[in-house]
């Protein structure tokens, strides 16, 4: 092995790479085994996240929640009542 590669394998970058690989493996397992299952009569949906972007940490919808909750027209006590657009009408 070259000296630079050996030094890199001993450094913190190897630890970071190993941690990244473990997290990716856990995310793949979540997508494989959790997506589509049911909990309390609700379907769990998972999707890949491209990473952190400023402004997205509080949700994707305009009101701060999930987009699917904004357009819901029916009453759902488990999700906080009516959707945000239906509440504003």
Q: Give the tens place of pLDDT for each residue, 9-64.
A: 565 666 677 777 888 888 888 889 999 999 888 888 887 776 767 766 665 666 66
Extract the tokens encoding 4: 């630079």
Which tops the pLDDT comparison, 41 or 68?
41
Q: State pTM to two decimals.
A: 0.47
| Residue 36 near residue 49, CB atoms below 8 Å | no
* Helix, strand or coil, per DSSP, at residue 21: helix
Q: Given this model, what pLDDT does residue 15 score?
A: 67
């Amino acid at each position: 092995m070259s000296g630079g590669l050996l030094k890199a394998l001993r450094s913190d970058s190897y630890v970071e790479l190993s941690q990244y690989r473990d997290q990716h493996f856990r995310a793949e397992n979540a997508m494989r085994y959790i997506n589509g299952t049911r909990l309390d009569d609700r379907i769990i949906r998972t999707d890949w996240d491209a990473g952190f972007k400023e402004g997205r940490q509080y949700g994707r919808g305009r009101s701060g929640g999930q987009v699917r909750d904004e357009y819901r027209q029916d009453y759902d006590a488990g999700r906080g009542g009516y959707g945000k657009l239906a509440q504003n009408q």
